[in-house]
Copies of this chain bind each other. A is one copy, B any other.
């Protein structure tokens, strides 16, 4: 009796569900510390103490009718103004409260902007590898998702192929840097070239092509790397942000869209995003959390924890002989499967109680995603299993790998 469209969505979901169940099954048999679950992007570093302080202060100081009440569907004006100001300070932008729509996380934000923009049949381009949910979000509004194949050397977007795939039906492009699942940060060269192509194609077809920059991992970068702020490079850029990772609040569902005044039809888009927020049933982003994040704009989680994990994982896997592009941001590592069928590789890894997500879930078969938002000990304790796994496939580890293997 459920909707036909939902049947496909439910079927796809059962793969992820099966992995989750497998983790629970293995934990029940071997104990939770004997299972190395790298499958989930659920932050394991606690929210900064400032979040707790902010919430308690708001509850103590402010009027509960206002704190927990309805406000403009786009969010509290003062919260939006504070966010705009913080962005302006950091990125030299010129936003104000009218540029910001508070959202139920980045997933909520993407649904709002896609509902706002898409007519049935409109094409949305994404770069493999990409977060698989984009497909569902686009199909929610009868858009057509088109995948630009991956550049497997660098995992920077494949811009040559991209250019050839743009048509007069291309309404939007979703980019995601730092990237889930590759951990790659788009370079400024990439961004400039991307912007050039979009401008040329807009001119060629006489259309507006909206660049949607999905940035839940913006704050999670290592080695002082800069993440270019895309509105500074291309006029039709919409930024989709979330505090899920920067403040470790994924369950709270709090984020925002930036809708710059430079957008083609900016005023219509802002009005429609406000209405879309309402009629999709979000109504508004959670009110207390809006006020809480506004008091924590300069805060972020302990990045050193993730960075230590990153280094330990990269070093360990390299020594085993695995291949990957070293991640520069987020908390994912995208590793080449030693065999073409990476689902088989994942299954083999499960023998060592190592859980990873097949790259096919990100439109990039032949790779696996390892989420390192886990305890440091999980990474260290998983290494003997990774070494055996490498050996099973005849990978040639480095000297130090073998030595550390003998020590283990």
CB atoms of B1 and A117 under 8 A apart? yes
The prevalent SS among residues of A at the interface is: helix
CB atoms of B65 and A272 under 8 A apart? no
CB atoms of B56 and A250 under 8 A apart? no
Of the listed stretches A132-140, A176-184, A316-324, chain B binds A132-140
- Name which residue of chain B comes closest to A135, CB basis: B279
Bound state CA distance, A4 and B288, in angstroms? 34
Please give the distance in Å from A24's CB to the nearest CB on chain B: 12
Q: Of residues 60 to 119 in A, which have CB atoms within 8 Å of B's CB atoms?
A: 63-65, 67-71, 104-105, 107-112, 115-119
Residue from the list B3, B55, B133 in contact with A115, Cβ < 8 A: B3
Please give the distance in Å from A253's CB to the nearest CB on chain B: 5
Most buried by B among A5, A67, A111, A279: A279
A31 within 8 A of B: no
**12 pairs, A vs B, C-beta closer than 8 Å:** A56-B56, A68-B252, A104-B283, A105-B283, A108-B281, A108-B283, A133-B279, A252-B288, A253-B282, A253-B284, A280-B280, A281-B282
Give the chain B neighbours of A69 by CB distance below 8 A.
Answer: 42-43, 248, 250-251
User: Given the interface contacts A3-B117, A107-B281, does A43 sit within 8 Å of B59 by beta carbon?
Assistant: no
Please give the distance in Å from A238's CB to the nearest CB on chain B: 12
CB atoms of B42 and A64 under 8 A apart? no
Report the 7 A-B pairs with minimum CB-CB distance, sorted nearest first.
A251-B287, A111-B281, A136-B279, A107-B281, A108-B281, A1-B265, A2-B272
Bound state CA distance, A70 and B249, in angstroms? 8
Most buried by B among A104, A133, A208, A274: A104
Give the chain B neighbours of A104 by CB distance below 8 A.
Answer: 104, 253, 281-283
Bound state CA distance, A288 and B55, in angstroms? 11
A314 within 8 A of B: no
Give the chain B neighbours of A287 by CB distance below 8 A.
Answer: 251-253
Please give the distance in Å from A268's CB to the nearest CB on chain B: 5
A393 within 8 A of B: no
- Name which residue of chain B comes closest to A243, CB basis: B68
CB atoms of A65 and B248 under 8 A apart? yes
Bound state CA distance, A276 and B6, in angstroms? 8
Residue from the list B119, B137, B279 in contact with A4, Cβ < 8 A: B119
A141 within 8 A of B: yes
Q: Could you give, for residues 286-299 of chain A, a 1 whenever the CB lies within 8 Å of some chain B CB and a 0 otherwise?
A: 11110000000000
Bound state CA distance, A146 and B185, in angstroms? 50
Bound state CA distance, A302 and B407, in angstroms? 67
